[in-house]
């Protein structure tokens, strides 16, 4: 009996470590994050209240692009790569983050887990490799290697921003 308990604990820990590895190696059909020094091109994108400039981008399959994101607006904005379904799912998460106090109109707030009604939400954070938050007056970067994809967009998924038109088309040739 004394041996079974440590083995059960070890088995649980091993299963958890495999889940953590699976999350860390999550892949996207349209590409993957890359180090900035691997970029073959740099594209500056201006984030304004409530628009991107440029409104569309063309990249080549296999190309690694370093996006320099300049927030010239007065609000917190996001640059997120994905298709419409991914953006819709992420918008729900962003709404929860805002309701919890983790996100404010201008930046990251103090998260109140109790406001969400289900205690500790230590797993909730904004750290997806295909997304970056940019505070007003700040600059951030995201570097991505693209694969062939259709229906790809770059968008701000803060509550109401996508719906107000803060979305652009990204074509992978």
Q: How is residue 13 annotated by DSSP?
A: H
Domain ranges (residues) in the chain: 29-172
% of the chain residues with pLDDT over 90: 64
In this prediction, residue 169 has a pLDDT band, given cuts at 50, 70 and 90, of: very high
In this prediction, residue 5 has a pLDDT band, given cuts at 50, 70 and 90, of: very low
CB atoms closer than 10 angstroms to residue 12: 10
**Cα distance between residue 14 and residue 9, in whole Å:** 9
pLDDT tens, position by position, 111-144: 444 444 433 344 456 779 999 999 999 999 999 9
CATH superfamily of domain region 29-172: Cupredoxins -  blue copper proteins (2.60.40.420)
pTM for the model: 0.77
CA 122 to chain centre: 17
% of the chain residues with pLDDT over 70: 75
**6-31 mean pLDDT:** 49
pLDDT at 119: 39
**142-170 mean pLDDT:** 94
């Amino acid at each position: 009996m004394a041996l079974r308990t440590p083995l059960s604990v070890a088995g649980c820990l091993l299963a958890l470590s495999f889940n953590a590895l699976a999350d860390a190696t999550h892949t996207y059909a349209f590409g993957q994050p890359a180090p900035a020094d691997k970029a073959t091109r740099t594209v500056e994108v201006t984030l304004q209240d409530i628009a991107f400039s440029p409104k569309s981008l063309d990249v080549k399959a296999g190309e690694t692009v370093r996006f320099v994101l300049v927030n010239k607006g007065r609000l917190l904005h996001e640059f997120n790569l994905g298709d419409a379904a991914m953006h819709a799912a992420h918008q729900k998460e962003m709404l929860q983050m805002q309701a919890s106090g983790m996100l404010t109109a201008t930046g990251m707030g103090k998260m109140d887990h109790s406001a969400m009604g289900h205690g500790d939400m230590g797993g909730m954070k904004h750290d997806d490799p295909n997304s970056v938050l940019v505070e007003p007056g700040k600059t951030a970067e995201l570097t991505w290697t693209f694969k062939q994809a259709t229906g790809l967009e770059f968008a701000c998924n803060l509550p109401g921003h996508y719906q107000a038109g803060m979305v652009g088309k990204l074509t992978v040739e």
